[in-house]
Structure 1
Amino acid sequence: MALLESSLIWIVYAIVVVLLVFVSSTFVYVYQTPRERSTAVTTVCILTLTALLATVLLLPVDVALVSSTTSSKLGRRKDWATQEEVDKITYSLTVIYYLLYSLDALLCLLVIPFTYFWYEEYDEVAAEEGWQTASKRLGAALRYTLGFIFLIVALFLVGFFVPVVKNRDAPHFDLDYFKKLLTENHGERALTFAVGLLVTVGIIPYVFYTSFGLALQPISLIKSAPSISAPALRATTASKLEENTERQRQLEGRCGGNLDTLSSKDRREFDGLVREERTLRRRQRLAEETQGGFFLRTWYKICAVFRPLKLLGGILLMLVSAIIWVSMLLTCVDKAKNSVCKRHCGYILGKVNILNPVNWILVNSAKVFPLDYIIFILIVLVFFTGSVVGVATIGIRFLWVRIFRIRKGHSSPQAILLATVMLTLITFAFYYVLPMIVMPQYATYGSQTFCDYPPKHPGEQPDCTAHTDLIKPCSELADSVSSQAVCTPSVVSTFINRITLNFPFYGVVDFWAQFAFLAFYFVAGITALFRTPKFDEQQLDEDEEEAEEEGLLSSSGRRFGATWEDITGRASRLQHSTAAHLGGDNNPESHR
């Protein structure tokens, strides 16, 4: 029975990892421009995002495996769950976590920078002439990556030798749970220090990007309302372009090819037609791109199918985001008020004192696997897609200077790589936020309980069959003999608590940053309710004009006719009636 239950849990996780490949591929293919797509960049981005999300989604597997060793109704371990079997489970999970954490760190600090420089070193002219070989390109990329190699080595050396917390006389440090968190192994200390640093660095983009995206995402779904379909756009664009070209020929024929002889009125009309032609050419190119790549075309059709559900989905997503926000606020208040050792151990919460809605739902659903896994996946996707929306809206910036813009179908490989780095750091922040802030009790002990009733004979497990009121949920502060014999903390909670206890600075920064996140989310949400943020409209360069045209191709929802046309890929016979909507009247002055 134990083997069957364990196998089922790992099978579910394997299925989820396969789905993660699809999620990561969707992000890369939807946002990367088809004209500059690079196989190396695409592969690295998909691999990185999949590894990161797989690490996050290992948490419910961790909780399910340690929870499977106990009977929550009886508050005792199952007959097969000897200490040796429990140690095997936690050891295997520890090995997997350490491998994934190491892989995530190497992908973020080494593989992505190398891929960036590898792509930057490509010279099309030199490659055609034959003097730029793969070895030269590889050597140049390695030279630029040396700095990151030194960074990784220095990071692990510092973690290897840096002293851990010395304040071991703080309250509750004598409890067995806290004693086990104090690291003595130098190799484990180095990895703990490195991951803790990446988590703390990732907190910065998490506060700015995820809070903004999480607040904007549901409101943008509710407010989105362009009313023209992609097939109708292609048809009307071709019709307007033909009319424009014919009118230009008429004006050129009237003046015999010498535009200087035209009257001022006709010259203004001709100039307006030229500007309109440029706009129509860009619009035509964008419309053709929607018929290009399979993934992009499929994405537009999926968006079209779900347009009628956007309003309902936006409302539900807003409700879910609000519940998560409230849960995080309650946990933060609980930690600030009731942490057993405050800043000395990074605000570890020994016991949940304030009801957390998300935590309560997951703890109760954990009794029926994989119900809790499904809920957890949805929460992770809410955070991840919110981060994507934040990165796409704000762009890749250094302080107030925008370096790259992330747009669907128009992001360069360099922009996709930097966006992946940003999402990587944000996902590292999730390693702390989800188990420590959003769902602390669930992430630590799941649905485990213990019987706080002394056994009749030494060596026997306590029996609460006749004393169900003495069955209590496991917690860090439950330091009785009964709890020690039953409760097994999850591996991920042990690892994150080890970071905050051995290096309290990380825990203090990560904890107080949550209040900044909650404040940014609240301000962004209130602002977006009254005014949906837009890109800068003052710039008149070509990229801005293309962004404006791209908006006409984005998913929309006012007309069911537009939705049906996008799904079928054909425009209706009413397509010409939309020409007036797209281009206004026939007066070219209206296109200025």
Structure 2
Amino acid sequence: MAAQIPLIWITALVVLALLIIGALVFVKIYQARSEKDAFVTVVCVLALTSLLATVCLCPVDIALVSSTTNNHTGLKKHWAHPDTVANILYSLKIVYYCLYSLDAVMCLLVIPFTYFWYEEWDVETTRKQRLIGALKYSIFFVLLMVLLLLAGMFAPVARQMKGHLDLDYFKKLMMENNGERALTFIVGLLLCVGTVLFVLYTAPGLALTPMVLIKSIPSISVTSATAATNDALAINRERQRVLEAQYQGRGERPSSKDRRELEALQREERTLVRRQRVAEELRASRTTTFYSKLEAIGRPFKILFGVIILVISILIFVSMLVTAIDKVQNSVCGKHCGYILPNTNLFNPMNWLFVETSKFFPVDYILALLVVLLFFVATVVGVAFVGIRFLWVSLFQLRPGSTKPQGMLMSTVMLTLTVLAINYAFTMILAPQYAHYGGQKFCDHTVSAQLASSGYLRSCSSHPELIRECNAQAPQDICTPTVVSTFINRITMNFPLFGAFAFWAQFGFLGLFAVSTATALMWTPRLGGRAAEEVEAEEEEGLLGSTGRRTRAAWEDLTGRAAARENRQSRTYGTSDASDV
């Protein structure tokens, strides 16, 4: 066996170790510091590791099947015997089924039990009482799991496809045993639920992620904000002093006009004092000038990174739209098989990029891994901005350092379900040809035989024009489909309703992404669901504004030019402000 196979698995194990660390960091950052629970933390870390491993297994799957074919000759490599390839696919299949089963058990059993376990906590409650209470409320989910298993085993599957679908690859996708049928049914049902979350959270998250980076620079530096606040506060108090001095010793009540003006000045003073306190806290958080300047130096790179993500997001949008249109126009069986497409007919930029970079392994592997992780990060951003809601009712907010344990558990369930939709979107919509066959190519023996019969002896090794990219119409003994594409195609063909729903939901994803991007270009994104006083304080601080003001703020933080002005203001007003505050 080629050395590339062990290298891919070793890389996957390294990535898995990093994912475990990432899950720990994610839970550490977002969980509320005052409401920690060890059991909730462990469950969240395990569930996040499982879902991240599921979403990152797809690039491993593609890399493994791609390594079995020699793209220069269009034939299998000398070590890629049918038994060897079958063992590789079998190993991947076991890993996939274990991860999908673990995700389903986490969503339907473990996390609900953990939720009720935490809810049963009380000062006078024992562990036994908490356990009994959590089990009592978890019975519904146990029954639900049993019903889904029974429904999956006995649910009728499509036996005949309407349309000209006579390819051997698709005929092999029909169910053969009840156990696999049950798992496929449950995953297909969870896929539909995850697709709804994918549309509602990943689409706006993908649009807002680059905007958060691009527009995250404050419109005014901290030192300038402090100096401006000191100026405004001194002027405000001087105006109040003048108004009050007009009526001192005269025994007259202030006129209604002066009284309204004085009340307005007092409200403004409270606002300025709060702004001053926030600015001082921001200054205190910057332990040294070095870190402040280092942050200012990094701001242009942060903007550049945001622009790169924006370009990638637009490419993702275009690629998904092209494939969706291609499936509507050219699918051989339409809704009866989930709009399966034997081969692509329209140019897909992301698919082309993956296929071209597959010539330089592991570039395509890294790119595929980054894209699926971008989808995951976009989902997290979407949950943080939109919040955990039921219709218009906000239940929990995903915020750093202040997410309640119940919110962490519900966020984990949402992310787990969305991962299934991410796998579907990447495999079936974003880069279908690459996700099905990777960089595999085959020798078109039909064309070669026709040329040979005409007196032109051609060999694929010496004539690369005879090399074709693998698709469903290619010889299946040479072109090996990925396990994830086979599993998803099995869902859409045996349960066409799931496939049709997941496909048409992609148009909702594209529409919401377009609206969110257009809105974010004109409106500065802010975390949703925060307390009203936090939003008001941020608006008063004026930390977000035009690009020109952001640039000046970055330059002032870098050069420290505003510090001198602040020192002059503090010498002028420092004594009176301190006594007033």
For the aligned pair, the TM-score class normalised by the smaller chain equals 0.7 to 0.9
CA positional deviation for 1:588? 13
Q: After superposition, give the CA deviation of every residue in 1:496-532 in whole Å (9 maximum; x if it has no partner).
A: 0000000000110111111111111111111221223
Residue 143 (structure 2) pairs with residue 150 (structure 1): yes
Q: After superposition, give the CA deviation of every residue in 1:188-236 in whole Å (9 maximum; x if it has no partner).
A: 0000011111111111111121111111222232222325678999x99
> What is the one-letter code of the residue matched to 1:474?
C
The alignment partner of 2:442 has SS state of: strand
CA contact (8 A) 1:214 1:386 kept: yes
Residue in structure 2 matching 1:527, options 519, 531, 537: 519
Residue 421 (structure 2) pairs with residue 429 (structure 1): yes
Residue 163 (structure 2) pairs with residue 167 (structure 1): no
Partner of 2:553: 559
CA positional deviation for 1:273? 10
CA positional deviation for 1:473? 1.5
Distance in 2 (CA, whole Å) between partners of 1:365 and 1:157 is 44
Q: 1:169 to 1:518 in 2, by over 3 A?
A: closer
Partner of 2:99: 100
Q: 1:227 to 1:541 in 2, by over 3 A?
A: closer
CA positional deviation for 1:353? 0.9
Residue 464 (structure 2) pairs with residue 468 (structure 1): yes
Q: 1:535 to 1:219 in 2, by over 3 A?
A: closer
Structure 1: where are the runs of 5+ without partners?
248-261, 293-298, 457-461
> What is the one-letter code of the residue matched to 2:126?
T
Distance in 1 (CA, whole Å) between partners of 2:569 and 2:300 is 21
CA contact (8 A) 1:444 1:493 kept: yes
Q: 1:271 to 1:81 in 2, by over 3 A?
A: same
Q: 1:551 to 1:192 in 2, by over 3 A?
A: farther
Correspondences of 1:246-257 after superposition (within 5 Å) = none
Residue 28 (structure 2) pairs with residue 29 (structure 1): yes
Partner of 1:74: 73
Distance in 2 (CA, whole Å) between partners of 1:355 and 1:134 is 60
Partner of 1:109: 108
Distance in 1 (CA, whole Å) between partners of 2:109 and 2:569 is 51
Give TM-score, length-normalised by structure 1: 0.80
Q: After superposition, give the CA deviation of every residue in 1:340-372 in whole Å (9 maximum; x if it has no partner).
A: 211111001100111111111111212222111
Residue in structure 1 matching 2:134, options 138, 141, 158: 141
Identity of aligned residues (%): 47
Partner of 1:8: 7
The alignment partner of 1:484 has SS state of: coil
Q: After superposition, give the CA deviation of every residue in 1:460-490 in whole Å (9 maximum; x if it has no partner).
A: xx96234433222111123xxxx13211111
Q: 1:507 to 1:269 in 2, by over 3 A?
A: closer
**RMSD of aligned residue pairs (Cα, Å):** 4.3
The alignment partner of 2:477 has SS state of: helix
Residue in structure 1 matching 2:476, options 472, 480, 484: 484
> What is the one-letter code of the residue matched to 2:164?
P
Distance in 1 (CA, whole Å) between partners of 2:486 and 2:150 is 23
CA positional deviation for 1:88? 0.6
CA positional deviation for 1:406? 2.4
Distance in 2 (CA, whole Å) between partners of 1:340 and 1:169 is 9
Q: 1:79 to 1:319 in 2, by over 3 A?
A: same
CA positional deviation for 1:61? 1.2
Correspondences of 1:203-242 after superposition (within 5 Å) = 203-226=195-218
Q: After superposition, give the CA deviation of every residue in 1:119-142 in whole Å (9 maximum; x if it has no partner).
A: 22222xx2xxxx322222222222
CA positional deviation for 1:435? 0.7
Distance in 1 (CA, whole Å) between partners of 2:566 and 2:23 is 36
CA contact (8 A) 1:330 1:354 kept: yes
CA positional deviation for 1:289? 11
CA contact (8 A) 1:197 1:506 kept: yes
Distance in 1 (CA, whole Å) between partners of 2:279 and 2:148 is 51
The alignment partner of 1:486 has SS state of: coil
Correspondences of 1:266-285 after superposition (within 5 Å) = 279=274, 283=278
CA positional deviation for 1:308? 2.8
CA positional deviation for 1:565? 11
Correspondences of 1:179-578 after superposition (within 5 Å) = 179-226=171-218, 279=274, 283=278, 306-453=298-445, 464-478=460-474, 483-534=475-526, 559-560=553-554
Distance in 2 (CA, whole Å) between partners of 1:355 and 1:183 is 33
CA positional deviation for 1:281? 11
Partner of 2:245: none
Partner of 2:454: none
What number of residue pairs does the alignment pair up? 543
CA contact (8 A) 1:308 1:557 kept: no
Give TM-score, length-normalised by structure 2: 0.81
The alignment partner of 2:34 has SS state of: helix
Residue 59 (structure 2) pairs with residue 51 (structure 1): no
Q: 1:273 to 1:332 in 2, by over 3 A?
A: closer
The alignment partner of 1:408 has SS state of: coil
CA positional deviation for 1:183? 0.6
The alignment partner of 1:166 has SS state of: coil
CA positional deviation for 1:160? 1.0
Q: After superposition, give the CA deviation of every residue in 1:51-94 in whole Å (9 maximum; x if it has no partner).
A: 11211111121111112111011000111111111111111110
CA positional deviation for 1:587? 12
CA positional deviation for 1:404? 1.8
> What is the one-letter code of the residue matched to 1:559?
A
Stretch deviating more after TM superposition (445-454 or 85-94): 445-454
